[in-house]
Each structure stands twice: as structure tokens, then as C-alpha cells.
Amino acid sequence: MNHQENLTAYLQSFVNELVRNGIKNAVISPGSRSTPIALLMAEHTHVNVHVHVDERSAAFYALGMAKALKEPTVLVCTSGTAAANYFPAIVEAKISRIPLIVLTADRPHELRDVGAPQAIDQINLYGNQVKWFMEMSPPDAAPEMLRYVKTVSARAVAAATKEPKGPVHLNLPFREPLIPDFNHLEKYEADDPYLQIINGELTVSDEYVKGLAARLTGFSKGIIVCGEMNDGNFSEAILELAKALDFPILADPLSQLRSMEDPDNLIVDTYDVFLRNEDVKQALVPEVIIRFGSMPVSKPLTIYMRELEALQIVVDGGAGFRDPNQLTAEMVYCDETTFCRKLIEHVEHSKGNHRQLWTSLNEKTKQEISQVADITELSEAKLFHLLADLIPDNSVLFVGNSMPIRDLDTFFHKQAKNISIYANRGANGIDGTVSTALGVGAAKRKPLYLVLGDLTFFHDMNGLIAAKQFDVPITIILINNNGGGIFSFLPQAQHPKHFELLFGTPLDLNFEHLINLYGGQYSVVENWDHLRALCTDAESNFSIRLFEIKTNRDENLKEHRQIMAKVSQEIQHFLRDEGK
């Protein structure tokens, strides 16, 4: 065979094996050295190709798709710095356990370290931020090499989807010419996978579950903490377990437990507020904590768990180690839904007054927080309190990091609307937020709302091109306090001399120009009725809508402190009346 035939047979076998192992979507960054793999993916009838010209944005877009679909997305780029621009999204994917298959084209071995253009060292480029790396052999159509390339393809899918899920990296060196032979692609087709790798489900023995159930029966004071979870079956299972144990569920906004029916009033969603009160923490000391998912957003909750001497049990279907406090007594490697189902079979239904105290405090706190609805001026706190009303049923809400995700945790409470909530809480970065949201929107194909701050938006403004290219309508609620609002809440704010220069970082940007560039709708929110009218406008034909809410960082800090002080005072009265 000549070079072109070797190239085609090798790469078509590779792509076919990806598809036969479940790959449906590929995000391709344009480039020359990646030409053969890009062309063959575009030619394949079972691969949905998304071409994104900016590599950093493309990687976050792929991350969003994989996050929403719970299956691997393929990323393809040329050699050189294109591959380096994937790094931030790969870091996020590794920590958040999002499956990505990263394919970087490379110069052949003879063109490395000799001054060839667009050639960098791509061997183990992402280090331990990927689960698995393979430097591929140059294309060859010998039978043993076709077996090799199919095996690597299947292994890549299996490695990305094995718990804990995450990114894998294959580096593919190509010699010129780079154009495949399209006349003989059918020769390399096959109906069945060459290799199937079956990933099993983590579980624990019945003996352990029975013993745990017996121990839990002896506890009258327990809580369940749920961080980010995206398993639809888990929500039902955890509610059943909480009911059987009579334990309250402290539900992080990313747990997907705040947007569902809760007939037994098991879900607590204002703990971020009342756990700031020392008397409350003393009144709510549990004997046992069972935790699921990633670490919660709430810092007061994290501090609360760190200060306790309770038995702490973490259930992790990804067999990782999510315990920055390092106080876990039992790390249970078991699929979370399976764990709940098995434990329910053995626990004795109990009833006590500990959960009642949690839920009473929750309702009292919610009652006090609801008074933010009376705020007439534009307010970051009130925005998040109103979000559930502003966003339609069966929609997707993506929230930026820093203050927005924290305000969501504090002010967005449980309701029966089916709102799926997402954020990039692996590395907690503000880069790539727009692109990730659009990737989620492309996968979900539901009304998409993105709430974020001005610095976060600035970091990924070019990501908006995906809304136009891939027809992903998005409504952006931009909180513009002209800088890094979260730093006003941190100790740095007590040192004003260099605060604005180093932390406040005002940008003084007119975002209307950007939205005009993309042909979207831009509106400055005048008041709450105006925002409600904008959000409920069903006649809008714009794929991009941006509603800018201008706030003041100093006023926002003052407002938050006043709200917290007022709630804490009322909780204090409540505890006194309850005799706690």
C-alpha cells in the first residue's frame, strides 16, 4: 500500500471503532496537520461534527456537551499551541469527572526537536490531568497495525468512561500528504466492534450494608449532604433513603434536588445562611453525616462539617477521594443510587425530632430571606431569589463561578419546576463559562439561561460564536458590577491601597457592541418588571439575548451583610422560643 492508503485504512478503522463504541459527537478545531482525522470524522455518517475555530472555547464547548450527555465527546486539533489551548478545559474535565477523548495531531518523529514550524513537545502534554495518554504509531495498514489502532480506539472510550470518568489524550503523528483516499472507505467498514470493554458498576457487599443499616438505626441525629450529582435515578433513591432514616438532605444547588417535588419536606436549602450562626451549629450537632457527590458550594457548610466530631461517611461511585477536611471515617466506593437502594432494604424506618428542627430552621430562614423580594432597586440577591420565577419549566440554568454560584446557593430555593442546574465547579475557574454553557445547551436542546458576572463573561466572549454556528439559543443575564465582586467579601478588601488595581479590576466595557457583533438582542435592565417582560418574551427571534443588570460592588456587600445580620437575629429569636 502507498502512504495515502495506509493513512486512510488506519484512521478510518480508528474512527469506525470510536463510533462502534458509542461516540456520537466530535468538536474539531480547524488546522492543517489534523486534516486526515478531521476529514474522516466529517465524512462519517454517525458522527455529529461541530467545528469551533477557537481551541480554548472549543474544548469547553465539548466539555459542556459531555457534561450534559454523560458520554464522551471527541476533541480534535492540529499540532502546536492549538493543543496547549485545550489545557484549561481538560483540567476542569479531570476534576469534574467529565469524559473527553482528546486527539492532538502532531508532526512525525523526524520533524520533532529540529526547528520544524508548529512543532512542540506533545508527549504527555497534559501530564496527570488526563486519565490515560497514548503516543500513537504513525499510520500503517498492516493487519497487526489495524488491530492495534482499533484496540487503542476502544481503550480510549473505555478509559474515559470508566469511573471516575475523565479525559484521555491520544497524540497522532501524521506525515504528508494529509488527504485520505475517499474512494475506498467502504473497505474498512464493519458492523460489530473489534473490541468491547465492559465497565462494571461499583458496589459493596450485603454484609457491609446490613451492618451499616444496624448502626444507623442507633442514631437519632443524622444528616445527608448532597453535592453535585447528575444521575436522574439518584434523586428518587436519595429521597426514599432520607425518608426511611428520617434524616434531612442538605441539597447543594448542583445536586439537582432543588427542582423537584418534595412531599415529605426532606430537603434543606438555606443551610448556607443559618449555619453561619454559632448557636444554630450547636443546636444541630449530628451523630452521623452521609455525603454524596462533590464537595458542596457552601463554605459555611464545609466549615460546619470540619468542626464536627460526627461519624462521616462518603459514598463515591467514582472511587475517588473527595474529602478536603480529611475527616471521613468510611469512604464507600459504590454507585450512589445502588447504595441507596441496598441500604433502604435494611434500615428500620425511624422518627425523631432532629429532622424537624432542621426543617423548621429552614422554613424560618426561608421566610426571612424571602423579604429580599421587597427590594425595589436592582439587586444581585433579589435576582437569584426571583430566578425560579423568571426561568420557564423544563429549562437549563448555567451559573458562573465566584459570586453568582454562591448567591444561587443562598437565594435559589427548592421549587417544582424542572430546571437542570450546571456550573464548572471542578477547578472553579471563570474561563470557558460561556462555551461550556453553550455545549450543555447544544446537548440538551432546552431553553438555556446563563447567569454570570462581567469578568467571567469577558473571559469567554468569543465563545458566543457557537450560539450562531450551531443554532443554540441562549439568554444571558449579565451581572455587571464592573469588576471582581467576590473580592469585596474577602480579607483583601481590608487593604484598600491596591485593592482596585489588583482585585477590583474594573473593565469599563460597553457590552452592547459585543452583542451587536454577534447579531443578538441587548437590553439594559431598567427595573424588575422590565426584566420579567424580557425573560417572558416568547416572540424573540434572536439566538443570543443579553440582559445586563448594572449593580454596585460596595452596595452589594452592604446589602448581603444586612440580610445575613437580619436573618441571624431572627434565627436567634426562633431558637430562644424553641428552648434550644
Answer whether 378's CB lies under 8 Å from 480's CB: no
The mean pLDDT values, 10 residues at a time, for the chain of 580 residues are 90 95 97 97 95 97 97 98 98 98 96 91 97 97 94 97 97 95 74 81 94 92 95 92 96 95 95 95 95 96 94 95 92 97 90 88 94 92 94 96 95 93 96 98 96 96 95 96 87 86 90 95 96 85 93 90 91 80
**Coil vs helix vs strand at 526:** coil
Q: How far apart (Å, rounded) are the C-alpha atoms in residues 284 and 301?
A: 12
DSSP 259: B
Q: Which secondary-structure segment (H or E) carries 185?
A: none
Q: Which secondary-structure segment (H or E) carries 48?
A: strand 48-51
**Coil vs helix vs strand at 293:** coil
Task: Name the pTM for this structure.
Answer: 0.95
Q: How far apart (Å, rounded) are the C-alpha atoms in residues 101 and 23?
A: 10
Answer whether 538's CB lies under 8 Å from 463's CB: no
Q: How far apart (Å, rounded) are the C-alpha atoms in residues 58 and 82?
A: 11
Q: What is the pLDDT of residue 220?
A: 87
**What order do you get walking across the sheet with 474-480 strand by strand?**
419-422, 395-399, 448-453, 474-480, 544-550, 521-524
In the chain, the N- to C-terminal Cα span, in Å, equals 83
Q: Residues 267-309: pLDDT tens digits?
A: 999 999 999 999 999 999 999 999 999 999 999 999 999 999 9
Q: How far apart (Å, rounded) are the C-alpha atoms in residues 253 and 408?
A: 7
Q: What is the pLDDT of residue 183?
A: 83
Answer whether 21's CB lies under 8 Å from 198's CB: no
Q: Residues 100-139: pLDDT tens digits?
A: 999 999 999 999 999 898 999 999 999 999 999 999 999 9
Q: How do strand 222-226 and strand 48-51 relate by DSSP bridges?
A: unpaired
Cα angle at 346 between 314 and 248, to 5 degrees? Answer: 50
Answer whether 196's CB lies under 8 Å from 127's CB: no
Residue 236 phi/psi, 5° resolution?
Answer: -65, -40
DSSP 503: I
Q: How far apart (Å, rounded) are the C-alpha atoms in residues 239 and 262?
A: 8
Judged on CB neighbours under 10 Å (0-12, 13-18, 19+), 552 is: middle
Nine-digit cell string for 160: 474515559
CATH numbers and ranges of domains, the chain: 3-188 (3.40.50.970), 206-366 (3.40.50.1220), 375-563 (3.40.50.970)
Q: How far apart (Å, rounded) are the C-alpha atoms in residues 432 and 230?
A: 20
